[in-house]
Amino acid sequence: MNLEPPSPVHHGPPRRRATAGDTFFALGLAALGLVLAGGLLAAGGGLPGLARNLPGGGAAQGPASEPEPPGPAAPTAAPSSVPSAVVTPLPSSGPTATPAGPFTLNLYRDGVFVHQVDDQTCVAAAAQNMLNVIRLGEDGRPPDTTTATQRALYDRIVELTTWEDSHNGGTGPGGWAALLTEEGYPYEVRTYESRLAALRGAAAALRATGRPVGVIAWQGIHSWVMTGFTATADPATTGRFTVSEAYVLDPWYPWVSTRWPRSEAPDEPRDGKDLMANILAWNLPSGPYAGRDGMFVLIVPLGA
């Protein structure tokens, strides 16, 4: 294969051949130049005077020439070793910089994980995991992984859950957020039209607040805690990034579901394929749920 660049192609009008008239015009211009040069030599005292009257001559043509008056200073060029660039800002509603390279954040610490005590307490276990992560990271408080605490959290979440939040009773995302807020850590339920947007929202919230995010998995019947992520850029500086991995606490672990993908150990990175298989749009048979059906649901810390 020939990889040489093609020859330049001339796209202008065809070049015209010189005529006799062109030749006479050129000779006339040359004669006029000689006449002018002779006049300058006679009036200005020879070649130094001619130099002063020609563009760029200045005082450098000989000692008999007078110094030129100083003109305005020319702009100083930037050193060639300093690169320059034209910065195109992002839209005013978004961040203003896009750093290169992957960015990773993970709040997980050993000892924070707690398994759900039965098949009804995934929300309570998720809330317990989130409280352990927050309190250990912010206050240095040791994690509380006791069954008694999880059951107490479950009972309180049930009390805080409305019918709009869960038509089946029990616990719902709204009750989950209300429990965390009651414990002193304000959270709210947010919905997103796509998984991509939800993962970006979760990563941005983690980055902005340093607190974990609750994730509704398995079409609305299960609860995850996202403690970290790897993204193509830092969410603190740009909205133009993609989450390639998420670090998750899955309260179902080490149990194995007969219907859903296998639950992984705490702090295992979940890649894009795994996230697609587990984080699914809300679709509960007890619906309809206004504002949630077909949406991706998160429990997000306020301040994000």
Tell whether omega for the bond before 288 is within 30 degrees of 0, i.e. cis: yes
- Sorting pLDDT into bands at 50, 70 and 90, what band is 32? very low
Lowest mean pLDDT: which of 20-34, 67-81, 141-155? Answer: 67-81
Identify whether 12 is part of a domain: no
- Nearest-angstrom CA–CA distance, 210 and 15: 70
Q: What is the pTM of this model?
A: 0.68
Is residue 21 pLDDT above 70, yes or no? no
Q: Which residues contact 90 (CB under 8 A, 6 or more apart)?
A: 96, 98, 238, 239, 240
Tell me if 57 is assigned to some domain.
no
**Residue 226's domain spans which residues?**
103-301
> Per the domain annotation, does 244 fall within a domain?
yes
Q: Could you tell me if residue 177 is inside a domain? A: yes
The burial class, CB within 10 Å (0-12 / 13-18 / 19+), for 86 is: exposed
Question: Once rounded to an integer, what is the mean pLDDT over residues 55-69?
Answer: 34
Domain membership flag for residue 195: yes
pLDDT tens, 236-283? Answer: 999 999 999 999 999 999 999 999 999 999 999 999 999 999 999 999
Mean pLDDT over all residues of the chain? 77
In a domain, 19, yes or no: no
* Partners of 192 in the β-ladder: 296
- Residue 154 included in any domain: yes
Output 8 or 233, whichever has higher pLDDT.
233
Give one word for 275, left, alpha or beta, with left for phi > 0 and alpha for psi -120 to 50: alpha
| Per-residue pLDDT, 297 | 98
Residue 175, domain CATH:
3.90.70
Judge whether 274 lies within some domain: yes
What's the total number of domains in the chain?
1
